[in-house]
């Protein structure tokens, strides 16, 4: 997950240095495309892997493999479908995502190229969950690292060496994603442990329902992030125009901060995904003590990571924003102010996404969905729509910590209730 986030961070840094503020704003306008693709990948990947582990834990190997095959087949179909839709409706979608007249040319160039890498991106992001479930976590990490390293090497070469600007960043991303996707294909063609045969890749309706039931929580969490991102871009465009900053500065700054926060969230989600096979298998086998112990470890680790990022956000905002290129005094003023306020409760933000993955892994799909909706949809989205009416563009900043506090409280309450229930049953 960290490597997946680095795709966006590396592009943002090199684009900021080589293209400037409008390039940063363009990647922010493009970000909902990545989130929607990730949502599809997690729906199928986590849903397949969770069911696979639960069925394997219960000793039903043939059913587990049929579910894995359906998940892989659908990843290929859905990734290709998303790419086609993006190419066909590129400009209307980017305008919907908050594009301004100055930013649109950069966004069209960037997304028009990166759309060709989406089938590989979806296959890699979703398929790696099944690679891990098949007891090959090192190979899974190698797939992601390979693409990220290629992307990192090609970014400066294409942007600065060849002078391709934002198009160079896009091609570097596509090539990196293709390399990762090919490695996933090689694994399931040649290296897998699971008894998966070609016929199982044909989507099965019963298996697809099982996949959707356990993958929906993670999917909804990403869709909620996309909805919030789109709403925020449009709010920043509208209220920014009425402020001293204009529309482009807030969109560029929030894009940078969103990508930085994605690195933090990626680590926490990665911890949750790493625990997923342990939670699922042991819950399916009735070994609740292992489930509870792993949950406690993951909470501790996520909290340690969250505190580290909180310190960085509060004490080094100028240095963080400066990584992504230079800007005017107003640019840094808005970015630093936004980073400090919006990320004020970062130190508790790791619990909610981790708990959502926990409930999904043990087959409690409804609780997983509720957890995935709390911060983004139930709290943050209404707040960023209401607060700016009274506070202007500053209202977006203060919506963040309030939503974080509410989501954290609910996550703790639900998790404690579930752990107590396991204690009684063990």
Give the pLDDT of residue 8: 67
Give the tokens for residue 214: 């356990």
Q: What's 359-416 look like in SS3?
A: HHHCCCHHHHHHHHHHHHHHHHHHHHHHHHHHHCCHHHHHHHHHHHHHHHHHHHHHHH
pLDDT of res. 346 = 92
Res 324 pLDDT > 90: no
For residue 189, the model assigns a pLDDT of: 87
- Residue among 231, 267, 257, 280 at smallest CA distance from 349: 267
- Per-residue pLDDT at 75 exceeds 90: yes
Question: What CA–CA distance (Å, rounded) separates 111 from 106?
Answer: 9
Q: What is the mean pLDDT of residues 49-60?
A: 84
pLDDT in tens, 252-302: 998 888 888 888 888 888 888 888 888 888 888 888 889 889 999 999 999
Q: Is the per-residue pLDDT at 314 higher than 90?
A: yes
Q: What pLDDT does residue 269 have?
A: 83
* pTM: predicted TM-score of the whole model, two decimal places: 0.82
pLDDT score of 204? 86
Instruction: Render pLDDT for 123-146 as a digit per residue (tens, 0 to 9).
Output: 999 999 999 988 888 999 899 889
Average pLDDT over residues 299-323: 92
Range 329-346 average pLDDT? 92
**pLDDT in the model for residue 4:** 65
pLDDT at 426: 65
Q: Where are the alpha helices (DSSP H) in 19-57?
A: 21-57
**Mean of pLDDT over the chain:** 89
pLDDT value at position 59?
80
- Mind listing the pLDDT tens digit for each residue in 338-375? 999 999 999 988 888 888 888 878 878 778 778 877 88
User: Could you please report the per-residue DSSP string of 221-282?
Assistant: HHHHHHHHHHHHHHHHHHHHHTSTTTTHHHHHHHHHHHHHHHHHHHHHHHHHHHHHHHHHHH
């Amino acid at each position: 997950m960290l490597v997946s986030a680095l795709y966006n961070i590396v592009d943002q840094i090199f684009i900021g240095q080589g293209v400037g503020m409008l390039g940063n704003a363009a990647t922010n306008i493009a970000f909902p495309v990545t989130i929607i693709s990730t949502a599809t990948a997690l729906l199928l990947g986590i849903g397949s892997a969770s069911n696979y582990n639960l069925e394997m834990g219960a000793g039903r190997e043939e059913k587990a493999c049929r579910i894995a095959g359906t998940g892989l087949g659908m990843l290929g179909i859905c990734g290709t479908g998303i790419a086609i839709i993006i190419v066909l409706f590129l400009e209307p979608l980017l305008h919907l995502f908050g594009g301004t007249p100055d930013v649109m040319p950069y966004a069209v160039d960037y997304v028009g190229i990166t759309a060709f890498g989406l089938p590989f991106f979806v296959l890699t992001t979703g398929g790696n969950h099944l690679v891990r479930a098949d007891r090959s976590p090192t190979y899974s990490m190698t797939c992601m690292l390979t693409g990220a390293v290629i992307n990192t090497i090609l970014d400066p070469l294409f942007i600065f060496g060849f002078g391709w600007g934002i198009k160079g960043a896009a091609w570097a991303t596509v090539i990196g994603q293709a390399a990762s996707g090919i490695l996933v294909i090689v694994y399931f063609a040649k290296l897998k442990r699971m008894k998966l045969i070609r016929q199982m890749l044909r989507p099965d309706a019963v298996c697809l329902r099982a996949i959707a039931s356990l993958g929906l929580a993670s999917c909804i969490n990403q869709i909620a992030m996309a909805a919030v991102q789109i709403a925020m871009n449009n709010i920043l465009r509208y209220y920014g125009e009425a402020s001293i900053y204009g529309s482009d500065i807030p969109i560029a700054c929030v894009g940078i901060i969103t990508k930085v926060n994605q690195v933090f969230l990626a680590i926490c989600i990665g911890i949750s995904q790493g625990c997923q096979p342990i939670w699922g298998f042991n819950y399916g086998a009735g070994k609740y003590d292992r489930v509870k112990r792993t949950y406690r470890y993951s909470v501790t680790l996520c909290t340690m990571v969250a505190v580290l990022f909180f310190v960085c956000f509060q004490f080094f905002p100028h240095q963080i924003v400066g990584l992504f290129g230079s800007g005017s005094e107003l640019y840094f003023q808005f970015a630093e102010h936004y980073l400090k306020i919006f990320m004020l409760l970062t130190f508790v933000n790791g619990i909610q996404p981790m708990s959502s993955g926990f409930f999904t892994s043990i087959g409690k799909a409804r609780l997983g969905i509720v957890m995935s909706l709390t911060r983004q949809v139930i709290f943050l989205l209404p707040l960023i729509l209401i607060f700016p009416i009274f506070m202007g563009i500053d209202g977006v900043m203060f919506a963040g910590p309030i939503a974080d506090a509410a989501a954290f409280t609910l996550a703790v309450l639900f998790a404690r209730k579930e752990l107590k229930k396991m204690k009684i049953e063990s």
